[in-house]
Chain A
Amino acid sequence: MTADVAVLGVGMHPWGKWGRSFVEYGAAAARAALADAGLQWRDIGSIVGADTVRGGYPGYVAGATFAKALGWQGARVTSVYAACASGAQAVAAARAQILAGLADVVLVVGADAAPKGFFRPAGGDRPDDPDWLRFRLLGATNPTYFGLYARRRMALFGDTPEDFALVKVKNAALGALNANARYRKRVTAEEVAASQVVADPLRLLDICATSDGGAALVLSSVEFAHRHGVARPVRIRAVSTVTPRYPSTVPDLPDIATDSAAAVEPPSESFRASIARAAYEEAGIGPDELSLAEVYDLSTALELQWYEDLGLCAEGEAAKLLREGATALGGRIPVNASGGLASFGEAVPAQAIAQVCELTWQLRDAAGDRQVAHARVGITANQGLFGHGSSVIAVR
């Protein structure tokens, strides 16, 4: 088992469409996390930034940009990119430095100012770029992939559009309680059903928006936390950053086809399930021990998929789990107590970090109106374009 690292501080810049630079959001989140940790920026030995995304690829360099905005003080710098999973890779890089003894305390920052409309590929003529090709040849936006997954669930498991709408209703009710969420209004199933279809069977209110926002963590060794006077810090016990295994048999963004399973039998579990399993194995914790989960609800249907991939229920049982209220606040295993992407919209490099912020507030019993009672163990899960796994388990 890998040693724990402590979460000393968390901070966010509220999500929205603020029309300012990602640097401002990231620096604000960083200052909030430092204040939460009771540390000065000059106490930080290393900064890890999650790069912004532009056209599916790394956009603006994050680590050095935030270090400059906070004031050069000589810290070691790292920048990472893994699309939606960038935040988890930033946490993984910080943890590795701490556990290797390269740094006592590391600042992790992710922020973005999302361009308007559909995410789109880089410009120019790029026939060697799979992300460019899926737009050029198929017009396959991200929501069309979410639509394929949703329709597949309907055919295989009997999920209905009404089930999907219930996810939005649940998450909007939680987001209404979160001051950092962009959408803070409750939503009814009727409102979901009345919104425009974007990619059959999914409607506008089934699909997450793109947002501006920033999130930051101050991570340290457990020894540093103790020296700093924090007797019982929230601890990160596992960080999963796995890739798929060949042959990957689910069409994944940005691919036009799956691998072929003609020559090699596919693995017994999906890529998403393997992301969670790697985290569980590293933590020595099973799904039965979870108090809460923060999952990547790019669409309402995808949240249901995660229930199964995290082992919260058997395959095909996710809609039942939702309908029973098990994943609502007060249920057996609340999912997306933060309000999820449904309430935030995606600020790509900040999102996996924001998930860890929420776990931290919950595990500290500091989540206010959306507090999960007796929260002791939380998991985050997420998947980044091009085959990036992301899952963090935190305990207290």
Chain B
Amino acid sequence: MPRTRTPAVDGWFTGEGDGFRLLGTRCAACASVFFPREDAHCRNPGCAGGGLEEVPLSRRGRIWSYTDSRYRPPSPYVSDPELPWEPYALIAVELESERIVVLGQAVPGITAADLAVGMEVEAVTGVLSEDAETTWTTWHWRPTGVTA
């Protein structure tokens, strides 16, 4: 039986393929953007607080910095202890119009050696983990020069 694709976290991203976007919220009063989404109250201390509306974030941004995880992270990160640990790159990406830096894993196959500060990347759908019934989806950052 095929696994169900389910976001690993609710309401942080939407869509597949070219339609994939991170989702934040924006204050109707001061236009501050929040990711992860803020649904209760605007956190700008100079704002009386307006309605918070869901907004898709820019799909592309530039690398603020990057690193990798050479050792298996502890739970609740899910990995198969039976398999050798495969390091992944972790990227902090600055979105120009939102003026926000968002962390995310790089797409599989991209290593820290492939990256540079200032490089353009885009948010794409990715798989965080799989269990018997579910493929848990997440966002990954992919250098825009890479199509795989």
Partner pick for A261 among B34, B75, B100, CB 8 A cutoff: B100
Would A149 and B65 count as touching, CB distance under 8 A?
yes
Total number of A-B contacts with CB less than 8 angstroms?
155
Would B98 and A132 count as touching, CB distance under 8 A?
no
Partner pick for B30 among A134, A257, A264, CB 8 A cutoff: A264
Let me know if A100 is at the binding interface, CB within 8 A: no
Residues of B within 8 Å of A120, CB to CB, are 74-75
Known interface pairs A135-B77, A264-B32, A264-B44; A147-B67 also in contact (CB < 8 Å): yes
Nearest CB of A to B125, in Å: 14
Would A249 and B73 count as touching, CB distance under 8 A?
no
Would B36 and A256 count as touching, CB distance under 8 A?
yes
Q: 1/0 contact trace for A123-141 toward B, CB 8 Å? A: 1011100101111111111
Let me know if B8 is at the binding interface, CB within 8 A: yes
Let me know if B118 is at the binding interface, CB within 8 A: yes
Would B118 and A155 count as touching, CB distance under 8 A?
yes
Known interface pairs A120-B74, A135-B76, A137-B9; A144-B67 also in contact (CB < 8 Å): yes
Let me know if A18 is at the binding interface, CB within 8 A: no
Residues of B within 8 Å of A201, CB to CB, are 67
Nearest CB of B to A112, in Å: 18
Let me know if B23 is at the binding interface, CB within 8 A: no
Nearest CB of A to B21, in Å: 15
Partner pick for A155 among B9, B33, B65, CB 8 A cutoff: B65
**Complexed CA–CA distance, A132 and B88 (Å):** 19
Q: 1/0 contact trace for A148-173 toward B, CB 8 Å? A: 11111001100000000000000000
Would B70 and A200 count as touching, CB distance under 8 A?
yes
Q: Which residue of A lies closest to B32 (CB)?
A: A263
Q: 1/0 contact trace for B89-133 toward A, CB 8 Å? A: 110100001111111110000001000111000000000100000
Let me know if B68 is at the binding interface, CB within 8 A: yes
Known interface pairs A141-B69, A257-B36, A264-B30; A133-B9 also in contact (CB < 8 Å): yes
Known interface pairs A148-B66, A151-B65; A136-B117 also in contact (CB < 8 Å): no
Would A262 and B45 count as touching, CB distance under 8 A?
no
Residues of B within 8 Å of A156, CB to CB, are 117
Would A257 and B31 count as touching, CB distance under 8 A?
no
Let me know if A198 is at the binding interface, CB within 8 A: yes
Residues of A within 8 Å of B52, CB to CB, are none
Nearest CB of B to A159, in Å: 12
Residues of A within 8 Å of B46, CB to CB, are 246, 264
Let me know if A2 is at the binding interface, CB within 8 A: no
Q: Which residue of A lies closest to B45 (CB)?
A: A246
Let me know if A389 is at the binding interface, CB within 8 A: no
Residues of B within 8 Å of A155, CB to CB, are 65, 116-118
Partner pick for A121 among B76, B92, B98, B118, CB 8 A cutoff: B76
Would B68 and A147 count as touching, CB distance under 8 A?
yes
Known interface pairs A256-B102, A263-B32; A138-B90 also in contact (CB < 8 Å): yes
Residues of A within 8 Å of B100, CB to CB, are 257-262
Would B128 and A137 count as touching, CB distance under 8 A?
yes
Residues of B within 8 Å of A286, CB to CB, are none
Residues of A within 8 Å of B27, CB to CB, are 263
Q: 1/0 contact trace for A335-376 toward B, CB 8 Å? A: 000000000000000000000000000000000000000000
Nearest CB of A to B64, in Å: 7
Q: Which residues of B contact A (CB under 8 A)?
A: 8-10, 27, 30-36, 43-47, 64-71, 73-79, 88-90, 92, 97-105, 112, 116-118, 128, 138
Known: A126-B76, A152-B65, A264-B30. 14 other contacts (CB 8 A): A117-B74, A139-B105, A141-B73, A147-B90, A198-B70, A200-B67, A251-B101, A258-B100, A258-B102, A260-B98, A260-B99, A260-B100, A262-B32, A263-B44
